[in-house]
Every structure is written in C-alpha cells, then in structure tokens.
C-alpha cells in the first residue's frame, strides 16, 4: 500500500460524483463498469477502498483516466477548464450499484 494513511474522512472525499452519460451507461451494460469523477490526487487503492466503503460492494478492478480540460473562449478572452480524473470501477459478479433508487 502507499505511504498515505487512508483515513475514513479522506476516503469519503475521494469520490466526487458518478458519471451518468450515454457512454457510461453503455459501458455499464456491456462491461459491468461504473464511471466516477474522482479527485485528481486519488490513487487506485484509495478509489477502490472509497467505493467499497460508500456503496457497500466488492470491487474487482479500477482503471483511471486523466481527462484534460477544454480550451474555452468568452469573447476575446481565452480560458481553460480544469483537468480532472475519471475512474472506471469493475464490480465483482453479483454486485450492483443502483443510482436511481433513493435511500
């Protein structure tokens, strides 16, 4: 494990939001993976522990993608959105996360 101490407070801050898009839905149906927007400094081990803690499921694997921010323009001024990290989480067979059901 890494040198970082994985406290429960840190793990609760790792996952920022689920990615609910057409591509994420297609990947969930085809490959049984769920996409999350996570902190840019989060590691795969932290993401796995955070998903298991928050959603009470067993994680099989985690794949991460660093997404570069887009160049945007407002009039004559050019700006740039922040870079962010996306995590694809594979669950073990029989495990499921349902975002539609409210608790």
For CA atoms 50, 28, 36, 46, the dihedral sign is positive
Residue 101, pLDDT score = 66
Domain ranges of the chain: 8-91
Distance CA 58, CA 47 (A): 12
For CA atoms 12, 47, 93, 20, the dihedral sign is positive
Mean pLDDT, range 4-21, rounded to an integer: 86
pLDDT digits (tens, 9 = 90+) for 41-99: 999 999 999 999 999 999 999 999 999 999 999 999 999 999 999 999 999 998 888 77
Residue 99, pLDDT score = 73
Q: Which of 24, 94, 90 is nearest to 61 (CA)?
A: 90
CATH of domain 8-91: 3.30.70.330
Distance CA 88, CA 63 (A): 5
pTM for the whole thing? 0.84
């Amino acid at each position: 494990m890494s040198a970082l101490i994985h406290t429960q407070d840190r793990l609760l801050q790792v996952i920022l939001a689920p990615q609910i898009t057409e591509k994420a839905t297609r990947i969930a149906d085809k490959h049984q993976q769920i996409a999350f927007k996570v902190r840019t400094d989060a590691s795969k081990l932290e993401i796995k522990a955070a998903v298991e803690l928050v959603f009470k499921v067993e994680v099989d694997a985690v794949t991460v993608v660093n997404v570069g921010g887009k160049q945007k323009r407002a009039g004559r001024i050019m700006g740039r959105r922040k870079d962010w990290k996306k995590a694809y989480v594979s669950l073990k067979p029989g495990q499921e996360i349902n975002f539609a059901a409210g608790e």
